[in-house]
């Protein structure tokens, strides 16, 4: 955590800082309230240790101002003037805990360990809530297709080990969902599942996103920042589209995998990482190695356990069950009573090759649920690729907003292309722009 110590006694600041740094926390100190408030405005802190007597200032009056500037801050107060009344008042004003002076370093460590656990549990609840609000149903770990049965069998075996896993498959085959399923079945399931999309940022920003940076490491680096590796501590780090990882960052990822060590951008302190890495790609990494676009040693380090996800065209028996799962999910979202598909719609779904795989199927069924007038989705509710579907053009020409036209067009292109890069080329925009639009529109 990033911890701010506020105390007017230098020895207390030093002792507390040493105890917290021994736990791996990043520490900043202030000797007065005004300086602390300025720090809270300019940087993100997870926790603070606040003395209730700061020269002429009263720390208990400072507490509400601190929480106003940083509502998620966990504040521990301590004072030599301990009493039930001050303890109650501090907690009433928002303190997370209370320690009386004199205190020992172990007391500080115990309090911070409790705060860490509370924050971890809060993060777990937020993650579960976000999954309840997800834009797709949870993956069902069953199939009548032998290829998928083999995948699920490997997932269960691999999840039980701490080994690095490489997920292979075309765009839209569900690699992210399988990665999360592995995490949910692993020993790391109580900790964070953190995703990094490798094509989404420039090389400099991606390195900072992964490993973090120190204040002043580059233009715009106004504060010390932890990266996704630190956020995933004790959990799973999912590297999506690893084939797009810039060559300059690959040695640092190799070091993370081999030595479990890394350094933040602009920092000289080597830090240990306890993370399980899952990577995914729709690229041919062997070919990328031969073309010197991907390090051979990194490829072999990632490829401890590889799982290939077959495209939808290779698992026809799963098509209708998955379409029905999407139908139930989106019908509930739209508060519509839907009982299934007409025979014509099922035939259209079976006859199409689904080059966009699960992503295209999901988008198609969502659209059909929205457009359907009856309790069953008909072939006429499906887009232009299905027999009996409407003519191509989507929302174009209709009395709808430009944003709706853009969403429909991006959804269509994503469903008909094999990768984000290809979709970005078709749309004539930067891949990072496409990534942001997908996130904004929920595509």
pLDDT at 34 over 90: no
Taking the alpha carbons at both ends of the chain, their separation in whole angstroms is 33
Stretch (H or E) spanning 323 = helix 319-334
Query: What pLDDT is recorded for position 132?
Result: 55
Least confident stretch, 155-159, 275-279, 337-341, 407-411: 407-411
Query: Out of 137-141, 240-244, 379-383, which region has the weakest mean confidence (pLDDT)?
Result: 137-141
Please list the helix, strand and coil fractions of the chain in percent, rounded to the nearest 5, in that order.
Answer: 50, 15, 35
Give, as one character, the DSSP assignment of residue 199. Answer: G
201 in Cβ contact with 342 (< 8 Å):
no
| Count of CB atoms situated within 10 Å of the CB of 413 | 17
Give me the sign of the Cα torsion angle 308, 309, 315, 318.
positive
What pLDDT is recorded for position 128? 67
For residue 28 the two structure tokens come to: 């900043």
Helices (H), 335-401: 343-351, 357-371
Whole-model pTM: value is 0.69
Q: CB atoms < 10 A from the CB of 222, how many?
A: 10
Q: Where are the beta strands (DSSP E) in 132-215?
A: 165-168, 193-197, 212-213
pLDDT at 439 over 90: no
* 2-6 sheet: strands from edge to edge: 26-30, 2-6, 47-51, 74-79, 97-100
- Full set of structural domains in the chain with CATH: 2-117 (3.40.50.2300), 146-310 (3.40.50.300), 314-441 (1.10.8.60)
Burial class for 15, CB neighbours closer than 10 Å (0-12, 13-18, 19+): middle
- The mean pLDDT value for 200-218 works out to 86
pLDDT tens-place string over residues 374-386: 899 998 888 865 5
The helix or strand, by DSSP H or E, that contains position 330, with its residue range, turns out to be helix 319-334
Quick one: what percent of the chain has pLDDT higher than 70?
91
pLDDT per residue as tens digits for the range 350-378: 988 898 899 899 989 999 998 888 899 99
Q: What is the 8-class DSSP label of residue 390?
A: P
Environment class of 134 (CB within 10 Å of its CB; exposed 0-12, middle 13-18, buried 19+): exposed
Burial tier of 345 (Cβ tally within 10 Å: 0-12, 13-18, 19+): buried
- Residue 215's pLDDT band, with cuts at 50, 70 and 90, is confident
Least confident window among 71-80, 151-160, 201-210, 216-225: 216-225
**In the chain, count of helices (H) and strands (E)?**
18, 18
Closest listed residue to residue 237, CA positions, set 151, 294, 135, 165: 165
pLDDT value at position 131?
A: 57
- Could you read off the pLDDT of 88-123 as tens digits, one per residue? 788 888 888 888 877 888 888 888 989 988 887 877
pLDDT surpasses 90 at 2: no
Q: What is the pLDDT of residue 136?
A: 67
């Amino acid at each position: 955590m990033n911890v701010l110590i506020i105390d007017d006694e230098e020895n207390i600041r030093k002792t507390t800082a040493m105890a917290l740094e021994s736990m791996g926390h990043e520490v900043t100190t202030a000797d007065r309230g005004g300086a602390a408030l300025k720090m809270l405005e300019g940087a993100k802190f997870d926790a603070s240790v606040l003395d209730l007597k700061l020269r002429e200032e009263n720390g208990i009056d400072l507490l509400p101002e601190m929480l106003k500037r940083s509502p998620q801050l966990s504040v521990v107060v301590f004072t030599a003037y301990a009493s039930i009344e001050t303890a109650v008042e501090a907690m009433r004003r928002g303190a997370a805990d209370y320690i009386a002076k004199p205190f020992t370093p172990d007391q500080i460590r115990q309090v911070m360990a409790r705060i860490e656990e509370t924050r971890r549990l809060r993060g777990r609840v937020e993650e579960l809530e976000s999954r309840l609000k997800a834009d797709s149903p949870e993956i069902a770990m069953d199939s009548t297709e032998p290829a998928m049965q083999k995948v699920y069998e490997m997932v269960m075996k691999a999840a039980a080990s701490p080994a690095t896993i490489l997920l292979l498959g075309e765009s839209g085959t569900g690699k992210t969902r399988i990665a999360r399923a592995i995490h949910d079945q692993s020993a790391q399931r109580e900790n964070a599942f953190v995703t990094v999309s490798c094509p989404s940022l420039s090389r400099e920003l991606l390195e900072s996103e992964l490993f973090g940076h120190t204040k002043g490491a580059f233009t715009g680096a106004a504060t010390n920042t932890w990266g996704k590796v630190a956020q995933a501590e004790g959990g799973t780090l999912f590297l999506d589209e690893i084939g797009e990882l810039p060559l300059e960052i690959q040695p640092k990822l190799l070091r993370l995998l081999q030595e479990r060590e890394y350094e933040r951008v602009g920092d000289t302190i080597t830090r240990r990482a306890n993370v399980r890495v899952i990577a995914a790609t729709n690229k041919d990494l062997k070919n990328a190695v031969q073309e010197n676009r991907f390090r051979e040693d990194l490829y072999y380090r990632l490829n401890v356990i590889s799982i290939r996800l077959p495209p939808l065209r290779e698992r026809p028996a799963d098509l209708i069950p998955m379409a029905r799962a999407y139908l139930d999910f989106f019908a509930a979202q739209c508060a519509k009573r839907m009982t299934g598909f007409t025979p014509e719609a099922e035939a259209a779904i079976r006859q199409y090759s689904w080059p966009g795989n699960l992503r295209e199927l999901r988008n198609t069924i969502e659209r059909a649920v929205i457009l359907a007038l009856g309790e069953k989705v008909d072939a006429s509710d499906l887009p232009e690729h299905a027999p009996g579907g409407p003519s191509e053009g989507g929302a174009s020409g209709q009395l709808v907003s430009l944003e709706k036209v853009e969403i429909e067009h991006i959804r269509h292109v994503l469903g008909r292309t094999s990768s984000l890069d290809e979709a970005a080329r078709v749309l004539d925009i930067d891949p990072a722009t496409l990534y942001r639009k997908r996130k904004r529109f929920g595509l």
